[in-house]
A and B are shown apart, each in its own frame.
Chain A
Amino acid sequence: GAVVSQHPSRVICKSGTSVKIECRSLDFQATTMFWYRQFPKQSLMLMATSNEGSKATYEQGVEKDKFLINHASLTLSTLTVTSAHPEDSSFYICSAHNIDSSSTDTQYFGPGTRLTVL
């Protein structure tokens, strides 16, 4: 149980294009999902908190118009990197909070998406 998927796992795009990353909780409902960014050999950097049916809450320094987040259902959140540039190249990871879990505070992570912007 508590499986989170991400799609795509890897994407290469040209500078200026937009890229959408999907995060799904496969066997549980998640009212809250989180989006992280991770640079090589560094820890996770929280970008935003996504709540089902409401606007995402962005961390300081994260451009909301650059990183569009939509949480349309209890099992799906999407992150769209708009007008991507090489500096947006990174490893993006989502996590979901399992509201039905006995460990109600635990987040479960997706496998991550490697974005490379040329």
Chain B
Amino acid sequence: EDQVTQSPEALRLQEGESSSLNCSYTVSGLRGLFWYRQDPGKGPEFLFTLYSAGEEKEKERLKATLTKKESFLHITAPKPEDSATYLCAVQAAGGSYIPTFGRGTSLIVHP
């Protein structure tokens, strides 16, 4: 069974204090790993898709990396508007497109 574990569950940062969120996964062959951002009362917003170990993608202050066992979402010099829940999901190779989601990391960035 595919599993996704995100850590920490919650993270509080000061504005400008860089950090990383972790997504550990077990899957029988990875088709893709996804990162989403979710604001309270809204649907998840797509950030990145990673397909193979060693791949990296960046968007503004966010950078996602992937290894064979985990992915990191690095947040450089965060701002209060980066406060949100960040969700990680994996999609197994073969079969359906149904991803398995982690429980998310709730990030709060204080000004």
Could you tell me the distance in whole angstroms from the C-beta of A114 to the nearest C-beta in chain B?
A: 7
Across the interface, which residues of B come within 8 angstroms of A95, CB to CB? 43-44
Q: Which residues of B contact A (CB under 8 A)?
A: 31-32, 34, 36, 41-46, 49, 87, 91, 96-99, 101-104, 106
- What is the CA–CA distance of A93 and B39 in the complex, to the nearest angstrom? 13
Residues of B near A109 (CB, < 8 A) are 36, 43-46
* Cβ contact of A106, chosen from B32, B98, B103, cutoff 8 A: B32
A105 vs B91: C-alpha distance when bound (angstroms): 8
Which of B36, B44, B87, B91 counts the most A-chain CB atoms under 10 A from its CB?
Answer: B44
Closest B residue to A59 using CB positions = B98
Is A54 positioned at the interface, with any CB of B under 8 Å from its CB? no
User: Of B43, B46, B97, which one neighbours A32 at CB under 8 angstroms?
Assistant: B97
- Considering the chains assembled together, what is the distance between the CA atoms of A43 and B89 in angstroms? 11
CB neighbours (8 Å) of A97 from chain B are: 97
* A36 to B49 Cα, complex, angstroms: 20
For residue B40, give the distance in angstroms from its CB to the closest CB of chain A. 10
A-B CB pair tally, cutoff 8 Å:
51
Known contacts A43-B104, A106-B32, A109-B36; is-contact A49 B96 (Cβ 8 Å) = yes
Q: Quick check: A43 and B101 within 8 Å, CB to CB? A: yes
Q: With A43-B87, A43-B103, A43-B104 as given contacts, are A107 and B97 in contact (CB-CB < 8 Å)? A: yes
Taking the complex as formed, is A111 at the interface, i.e. its CB lies under 8 A from any CB of chain B? Answer: yes
**A6 CB contacts on chain B under 8 angstroms:** 43
CB proximity of B5 to chain A, nearest CB, Å: 11
Residues of chain B with a CB closer than 8 A to A103's CB: 49
With A43-B103, A103-B49, A106-B49 known as contacts, the answer to whether A112 contacts B98 (CB < 8 A) is no
Does A74 make an interface contact (CB < 8 A)? Answer: no
Q: How far is the CA of A98 from the CA of B54 in the complex (A)?
A: 25
Which positions 1-58 of chain A face chain B at CB distance < 8 Å?
Answer: 2, 4, 6, 32, 34, 41-44, 46, 49
Check A105–B49 contact: CB distance below 8 A.
yes
- Which residues of the other chain, A, contact B49 by a CB distance below 8 angstroms? 103, 105-106
Docked complex Cα distance between A112 and B87 (Å): 16
